[in-house]
C-alpha cells in the first residue's frame, strides 16, 4: 500500500512513475496511485493540471470543475472514500505530454516544498476541512465562467493546489493564500464579463 503523500514532490514522483511505465495515463490510474481517500492529494492533482500547460486543452476547465465538485461535495457529506464516474476515471493523457508537464513543474515543486510547514493548523484540522471543501465547491462552480478570461483557470488551479497542499502539510497559511488568489481571480473574471 502506498504511503500517504507529504509534499508536492512526492505527488509528482508518483505520477511520474505512472507516466514512465505506461503509454497513456488515466485519471483512474492516478487516483488509485495516490489513494481514493486522499482529498488533499486529489485537489493537488487538479490544481497542478490547471496550472500546467495541460490547462490549454479545450474544455479542461469545465472537466476539472466537475472533478472538483464531485470530490468536494463528497467530502462535505462525510464520505470516507471518494466515488468518481468512469467518464472522469477513463480520461487519459499521453505519457510524453504528461512527462513534459511534470518536468515543467519539478523545479517550482522543490521550491514550494522548502517553505511549507505546519502553521495556523486550526484552518485545516477537524471542522475546518469542511470549510476548505466549501471553498472548493465555490471555485468549482465558478470555473466554467473562467474559460471566458485567459489564464483565470490557471489562477483557480493555483488556489486549488494551495488548498490541497494545506491539507497534506497542515499549513493554514496556504488556505489564506488560496482565498486571496481566488478572490482576486473572481474579481478579475466579474470585471471582464460585465
Q: What is the pLDDT of residues 74-117, one digit of tens each?
A: 888 887 777 878 887 888 888 788 888 888 888 888 888 888 88
Q: What pLDDT score was predicted for residue 163?
A: 92
Q: What pLDDT score was predicted for residue 32?
A: 80
How far apart CA 54 and CA 72 sit, in angstroms, is 22
The set of long-range contacts for 100-107, using a CB threshold of 8 Å and a minimum separation of 24, is: 100/53, 101/48, 101/52, 101/53, 101/54, 102/12, 102/15, 102/16, 102/19, 104/52, 104/53, 105/12, 105/48, 105/51, 105/52, 106/9, 106/12
**pLDDT for 174 beyond 80:** yes
How far apart CA 171 and CA 165 sit, in angstroms, is 8
**pLDDT for 60 beyond 60:** yes
**pLDDT tens digits, one per residue of 12-29:** 888 888 888 888 888 888
Does the pTM surpass 0.95? The reply is no
Residues 25-45, mean pLDDT to the nearest whole number: 79
**pLDDT for 180 beyond 60:** yes
Q: Which three cell numbers stand for residue 138?
A: 465555490
Of residues 36 and 144, more confidence is placed in 144
How far apart CA 60 and CA 63 sit, in angstroms, is 5
Q: What pLDDT score was predicted for residue 41?
A: 81
Helix ranges, the chain (H): 8-21, 27-34, 39-51, 60-76, 86-89, 95-115, 128-146, 152-169, 172-193
Of residues 40 and 140, more confidence is placed in 140
**pLDDT for 1 beyond 50:** no
Domain boundaries, the chain: 8-193
Of residues 181 and 99, more confidence is placed in 181
Amino acid at each position: 500500500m502506498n504511503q500517504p503523500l507529504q509534499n508536492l514532490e512526492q505527488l509528482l514522483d508518483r505520477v511520474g512513475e505512472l507516466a514512465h511505465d505506461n503509454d497513456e495515463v488515466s485519471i483512474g490510474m492516478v487516483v488509485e496511485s495516490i489513494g481514493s481517500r486522499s482529498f488533499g492529494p486529489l485537489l493537488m492533482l487538479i490544481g497542478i493540471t490547471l496550472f500546467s500547460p495541460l490547462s490549454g486543452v479545450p474544455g479542461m476547465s469545465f472537466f476539472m470543475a466537475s472533478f472538483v465538485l464531485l470530490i468536494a461535495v463528497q467530502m462535505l457529506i462525510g464520505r470516507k472514500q471518494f466515488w468518481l464516474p468512469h467518464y472522469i476515471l477513463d480520461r487519459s493523457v499521453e505519457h510524453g505530454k504528461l512527462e513534459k508537464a511534470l518536468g515543467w513543474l519539478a523545479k517550482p515543486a522543490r521550491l514550494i516544498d522548502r517553505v511549507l510547514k505546519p502553521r495556523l493548523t486550526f484552518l485545516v484540522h477537524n471542522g475546518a476541512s469542511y470549510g476548505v471543501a466549501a471553498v472548493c465547491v465555490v471555485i468549482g462552480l465558478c470555473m466554467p465562467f473562467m474559460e471566458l478570461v485567459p489564464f483565470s483557470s490557471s489562477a483557480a488551479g493555483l488556489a486549488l493546489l494551495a488548498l490541497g497542499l494545506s491539507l497534506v502539510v497542515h499549513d493554514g497559511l496556504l488556505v489564506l493564500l488560496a482565498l486571496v488568489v481566488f478572490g482576486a481571480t473572481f474579481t478579475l473574471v466579474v470585471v471582464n464579463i460585465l
